[in-house]
Amino acid sequence: MEYATEIGRDVGRAVDLLKKSELVAVPTQTVYGLAGNALDEEAIAKIFQVKNRPSFDPLITHIASIDWLETLCKDIPDEAYQVAQAFWPGPLTMTLPRKNHIPDILCSGLPAMAIRMPSHNLFRELLGLLCFPLAAPSANPFTYISPTSSQHVLDQLGGKIPYILDGGACEIGIESTIIHFEKGEVILLREGAIDQESLQKVLGKPLIIPKKNIKIAPGAHKKHYAPNKKVIIGDIAQLIPKFDQDDIGIISFQKQYVPDGRLPQEVLSPSGDLKEAAKNLFKALRTIDNASVSTILMEYVPNYGIGRAINERIRKAGEIE
Ligand code: TXA
Ligand code: MG
């Protein structure tokens, strides 16, 4: 079906559409999501179709209040309440054993479902008006860069969905952190907006960091968050002379490597602030991906706090020289 996609702030319109099994793109603090009724198989099937997402890659369910946990999940460990109390509403997702009434298609048949309570005002208002939770993966085609503005969503999903709820630019700019509980341990499935240090402080113990792709994290693809252009990661100053100067763009952390205007160049945070870098990362990737160059040169950011999550996105966007 082809839609004349509209952008607006009409929450009532979003409610009407969602009740009719339609999809609405929604703002969150992290990235824009592509939302549908999490308990409605028809809506969920549409999400997979619009995103071109393989059916083995499950969706995150977004809830309005903590009461929903008991409605959707079972065998909830105390630690889950502990982290929920500390980080919800906010950019933390937990995977928990799901109850029988949860559609298999939502969770790709896994015994656990991913769940989070988001903090964006407009999205919370929307969730509060609905009597069902919302499944919402990032609102980008599978493997491409996540959207951090309503315009990004329109550029990619225009014509495929009826409505984009516009909540401005996303405050954090990278996705939520995902944790999984198993046999008394807490496993980090995805680095994200909440850093390991903060989680460990609340848990009072170290997180388990899986060494390689594990079965419980079906979405941990090697290629992800990727632009169409070739991304090469390394020492930018050393890389620049190896390429045709008319054919490269640069995304750096803090330093400007060539004078302004000589080639497409994005500096993530001139002051060296990792939070600012996270907020600008996906926008910068899109900007250079749309420039007329074939290669993007990138460098890692300092590897602590949210920097780890940024580096994980950079690693998946490119290849190391
Ligand atoms: O910040 C976010 O989390 C954004 C906003 C829109 O909420 N959402 C998001 O969703 O990033 P998505 O679908 O792009 O990424 C969710 C990841 C996928 O890698 C998926 O495989 C994993 O979560 N996931 C979902 N359900 C899971 C489950 N039951 N067990 C393990 N991993 C799961
Ligand atoms: Mg995604």
| Cα-Cα end-to-end distance for the chain | 43
More confident residue, 88 or 217: 88
Tokens of 133: 């939770």
Measured distance CA(61)–CA(94) in Å, rounded: 10
Closest residue by CA, ligand 1 atom 17: 219
Tokens of 314: 């950079």
Which atom of ligand 1 is the closest one to the Cα of 108? 29
Strands of 265-267's sheet in order across: 265-267, 248-252, 295-298, 230-233, 319-320
- Using the mean position of ligand 2's atoms as its centre, give its distance from the Cα of residue 147 in Å: 9
Which among 44, 119, 175 is the best mutation to test ligand 1's pocket, defined by most ligand atoms within 8 Å of the CB?
175
Which atom of ligand 1 is the closest one to the Cα of 26? 6
Residue type, 300: Y
The sign of the torsion formed by the CA atoms of 27, 31, 34, 36 equals negative
Q: Which ligand is nearest to the CA of 27?
A: 1
pLDDT in the model for residue 225: 73
Residue 320 reports pLDDT greater than 70 = no
Q: Ligand 2 (ion): which residues have CB within 5 A?
A: 138
Cα atoms found within 13 Å of the Cα of residue 119, Cβ hemisphere only? 17
pLDDT in the model for residue 217: 67
In tens, the pLDDT along 49-68 reads: 999 999 999 999 999 999 99
Which atom of ligand 1 is the closest one to the Cα of 53? 13
What's the chain's length in residues? 321
Percent of the chain at pLDDT above 90? 90
In tens, the pLDDT along 137-166 reads: 999 999 899 999 999 999 999 999 999 999
Mean pLDDT to the nearest integer, 262-275: 97
Residue 1 reports pLDDT greater than 90 = no
In tens, the pLDDT along 161-183 reads: 999 999 999 999 999 999 999 98
pLDDT in the model for residue 242: 96
What does the DSSP assignment read for 172-189? S-SPPEEEEEETTEEEEE
More confident residue, 222 or 296: 296
Q: Return left, alpha or beta for 56; rule: phi > 0 is left, psi -120 to 50 is alpha, else beta.
A: alpha
The sign of the torsion formed by the CA atoms of 179, 182, 185, 189 equals negative
Q: How confident is the model at residue 73 (pLDDT cuts 50, 70, 90)?
A: very high
Which among 34, 93, 214 is the best mutation to test ligand 1's pocket, defined by most ligand atoms within 8 Å of the CB?
93
Pocket lining for ligand 1, CB < 6 angstroms:
28, 30-31, 33, 57-60, 91, 93, 95, 107, 110, 112-114, 136-138, 175-176, 178, 189, 216-219
- Using the mean position of ligand 2's atoms as its centre, give its distance from the Cα of residue 230 in Å: 20
Torsion of CA 313, 163, 47, 112, to 10 degrees: 70
Mean pLDDT to the nearest integer, 6-26: 98
Residue 212 reports pLDDT greater than 90 = no
Measured distance CA(119)–CA(28) in Å, rounded: 7
Closest residue by CA, ligand 1 atom 21: 219
277 alpha carbon, distance to own chain's centre: 15
Mean pLDDT to the nearest integer, 105-110: 97
Measured distance CA(287)–CA(264) in Å, rounded: 9
Which among 59, 102, 225 is the best mutation to test ligand 1's pocket, defined by most ligand atoms within 8 Å of the CB?
59
14 alpha carbon, distance to own chain's centre: 21
In tens, the pLDDT along 214-262 reads: 666 666 666 677 789 999 999 999 999 999 999 999 999 999 999 988 9
